[in-house]
Amino acid sequence: MLESLLWGAVAAAPLVLGAVLAGIRAWPDRLLGIVLGFGAGALIASIAFELWQDGLEQGGPVPLAIGVALGAAVYFTADRLVERWAKRAGGGAAAGVPLALGALLDGIPEQLVLGFGLADGAGVSVALVVAIFVSNLPESIGSSSDLLDGGVKRPAVLGIWSAVAALCALSTVAGWALADVASASIRTGLNGFAAGALLVMMVDSMIPEAQKRAKDLAGVATVFGFALAAGLSALGG
């Protein structure tokens, strides 16, 4: 159990680190766009080579497809609710929330799966840990910067991401505890859920924001992020 808590904390640490980095200084728009594009590329690789591929190998296409549909629907619905709240609150307070929501809906099932692997005796590679940093850190930096620009105070931003990180870390422990009763179909569905939520978040929020801020450099940054994360995934596999 202690091992699962440790690895859960390590995997969730980039979320808090990103909030700290965003609070230390104001990031130039172009640099922030490059960071977001890089993170989007890393997430695409994570979906393709970790969530999707592992899901197919564990439980096949049907539970994976169901999980993807559920993840997309939950994120879409939650994001629409955030938009309505933003209109009532005046807009600024909700800046950056979609990325935080995506990180939460991705992180919980992803770290449940990490807990399952630890309970089954599977090791955690350094490459996997680095890949998590590569994908999660830009999400947190981008969301935190948007929240700060929208008028949210630094302690509140740090509190939001600390709560997301804590829930994700505890999900690793939950996965470890539930490993004996979680079937291959459930594990595959969780992979699909995370993939579906991430895909909608990237297309709706992360990639448009990267393009808006970094302009012509967004595509190149996305390719670099994809290449690095895909290479790390191959090393970890």
Query: Given pLDDT bands bounded at 50, 70 and 90, which one contains residue 126?
Result: low
Instruction: Return d(Cα 98, Cα 202) in angstroms, integer.
Output: 10
Q: How far apart are CA 26 and CA 7, in angstroms?
A: 31
Structural domain harbouring 82: 2-22+29-236
Handedness of CA 55, 60, 63, 64 (dihedral sign): positive
Nearest Cα to Cα of residue 193 among 71, 53, 44, 56? 71
pLDDT at 86: 67
Q: Residue 72: what pLDDT?
A: 94
The model's pTM: 0.83
User: pLDDT digit string (tens) for 96-110?
Assistant: 777 788 888 878 887
Contact 172, 11 (CB under 8 A): yes
- pLDDT tens track for 133-179: 777 888 888 888 888 887 888 998 999 899 999 998 999 899 889 88
Tell me what pLDDT residue 38 has: 92
125 vs 192: which has the higher pLDDT: 192
CA-nearest of 175, 171, 159, 58 to 116 is 175
C-alpha distances out from residue 125 to 117, 122, 151, 188, Å? 12, 9, 39, 21
Query: What pLDDT, on a 0 to 100 scale, did the predictor assign at position 219?
Result: 95
pLDDT above 80: residue 123: no
pLDDT for 131: 66
Quote the CA–CA distance of 139 and 65 in Å, as a whole number: 25
- The pLDDT value given to residue 90: 58
Q: How many folded domains does the chain comprise? A: 1
Q: 3-state class of 9 per DSSP? A: helix
What would the DSSP string read from start to end of 191-219? HHHHHHHHHHHIIIIIHHHHHHHHTTHHH
Q: What angle do CA 184, 48, 136 make, to 5 degrees?
A: 95
Give tens-digit pLDDT for 50-73: 889 888 988 999 999 999 999 999
Q: Which residues contact 62 (CB under 8 A, 6 or more apart)?
A: none
- CA-nearest of 33, 193, 234, 229 to 107 is 193
Amino acid at 101: L
Looking at residue 2, its pLDDT comes to 81
